[in-house]
Amino acid sequence: MKNRVVITGLGAVTPIGIGKDEFWKGLLEGKNGIEKITRFDASEYGAQIAGEVKDFDPAAFIDKKEAKRMDRYAQFAVAAAKLAIEDSGIELEKENCDRIGTYIGAGIGGIETMHNQYEKLFAKGPSRISPFFIPMMIANLAAGHVAIQFGLHGPSECVVTACATGTNCIGDAFRVIQRGDADAMIAGGTEASISPAAVAGFAAMKALCMDHNDDPAHASRPFDKNRSGFVMGEGAGIVMLESLEHAKARGAHIYAEVVGYGANSDAYHMTSPAPHGTYQAKCMQLALDDAGMKASEVDYVNAHGTSTHLNDEGESEAIKAVWGEAAKDVSVSSIKSMTGHLLGAAGGVEAIATALTVENDMMPPTMNYETPDEGLDLDYVPNKAKAKTVRAAMSNSFGFGGHNACLLLKKYAE
C-alpha cells in the first residue's frame, strides 16, 4: 500500500517576496516583481527587464564563508530550504536524518559563476580560475549544499528538465515517500540566471518580451492577445513533503495532500511545444489517473502560462481537452504575470502558490490580462484574486525539450 504524502513546509524566495507569507500577500495583491535589470548593465540588450529577487542577504541564511563558495542559485536553494524547514516545525535533531532526502534541481545552474570565471580565464589566464569554479557551477550542488547544511542523509538528487525542473523534483520526491524510501523530502527548484549570456541567449531565440523595456510592470501578460514573450525571473521554491503518518506523529500543520503526479515528453521539438497541447493534456490526465480523480473534481489550475503565444495557446487547448464541458468551471491563472518566469525554480514556487490556494480557497490572479485572444476563453482570473472553494488544484510545468510535469494537490482530509 502506498504512503499518503502531505506538504508541511513552504520556503519561497521570489521577486515579489521572501518567505511564504510575503510571497502569498504579494500574489493576492497582484504585486509586480518585474523591473529594469540591475544584475548587470543591460542597456544594449534587446530585453532589459527581469524579475529579480530584491534585498536578498545570504548571510541571513548561510555562514558568510560558505556563502562565498556558492553561486547565487545555490544560495537561493539553501535559503528556501531553511524557510521550508522552519515553516514545517520539524526538529531535525530529533529525526532519523537517514530517512530525510533532498530533491532540488536547477534548469541552468551556476551560469553567473561560469560568466565570471570565463572573464577571468580570458583576461588573466588559467591560473586565476577559482578552485570553487566547478562546484559553484554544476547544477546538483543546490541539493548537495542543502543536504550538507542540514545533515540530511536520505536520497539526494538533482533533476534538470528546464522549466519543468521544480515540478519533476517534487513529483519524484513524492514517489520516494509513497514507496517508503524516506519519511520526508525537501524538494523543489532554484534558479539565478539573470546574467549577460543567459539574457542574450534567450533574446536571440526571440523567446523574451522585448517591447516593454520602458513599461516592465505590464510586460508579462499570460493568455492576453498582446503577449509577446516571457520575462526572466529568479528565485527558489522548496517544499517539505512528509508521509502522512510521519506528519501526524509530530502534529505538523498540513497545507495540502499531494495525490497525483504526471510526467511525459512531447518528443517534438527543442523549444516549441507539440501542436494543440496534445501531450500536455496527456500529462495532466496522468496526474488525474494517478490520483483516481476526474477533471471535474479539480477547481483550479496554476498554469505554466509563460506569456508566449505557443505555450498559452497550447495549454489552453490542453485544459479544454482534459476538462471537456467542465473547462468552463475550472479557474486558471499564471503567477508568472507577477514574478516572471523562474525557469527551473518556477515549478517549486508555483507548487507553493497552489498549496496555499488549496488551503485558503483564494486564487491568485493573472495580471495584465486586458484583451481576450481568439480561442483562449477560459476563466483566467483576470487582474484580481478570487475567492472560490478549491477542493483540488493542479500545477503545470512544461520545459524546453518537451518535458511535461503536472502535480495534483487536494485539501487534506482524514
Which grid cell is 245?
Answer: 503518518
Please, are residues 10 and 175 in contact by the beta-carbon 8 Å criterion?
Answer: no
Question: 302 forms bridges with which residues in the sheet?
Answer: 333, 395
In degrees and rounded to multiples of 5, residue 272 shows phi and psi of: -90, 140
Strands 256-265 and 300-302: unpaired
Q: Find the largest Cα–Cα distance for the chain.
A: 65
Q: Are 154 and 102 in contact (CB under 8 A)?
A: yes
Q: Which pLDDT tens digit goes with each residue over 154-204?
A: 999 999 999 999 999 999 999 999 999 999 999 999 999 999 999 999 999
What contacts 12, CB < 8 A, 6 or more positions away?
Answer: 18, 19, 20, 22, 23, 80, 83, 235, 236, 237, 349, 352
Q: Whole-model pTM?
A: 0.98
Task: List per-residue pLDDT tens for the chain, 414 residues long.
Answer: 899 999 999 999 999 999 999 999 999 999 999 999 999 999 999 999 999 999 999 999 999 999 999 999 999 999 999 999 999 999 999 999 999 999 999 999 999 999 999 999 999 999 999 999 999 999 999 999 999 999 999 999 999 999 999 999 999 999 999 999 999 999 999 999 999 999 999 999 999 999 999 999 999 999 999 999 999 999 999 999 999 999 999 999 999 999 999 999 999 999 999 999 999 999 999 999 999 999 999 999 999 999 999 999 999 999 999 999 999 999 999 999 999 999 999 999 999 999 999 999 999 999 999 999 999 999 999 999 999 999 999 999 999 999 999 999 999 998
Residues with catalytic function: 163, 304, 341
In the chain the domains, ranked by start, together with CATH numbers, are 5-249 (3.40.47.10), 260-410 (3.40.47.10)
Strand pairing report for 156-157 and 100-105: parallel
Give residue-wise pLDDT tens across range 325-340. Answer: 999 999 999 999 999 9
Supply the DSSP string of 240-260, one letter for each residue.
Answer: EEEEHHHHHHTT----EEEEE
How many CB atoms are located within 10 Å of the residue 98 CB? 11
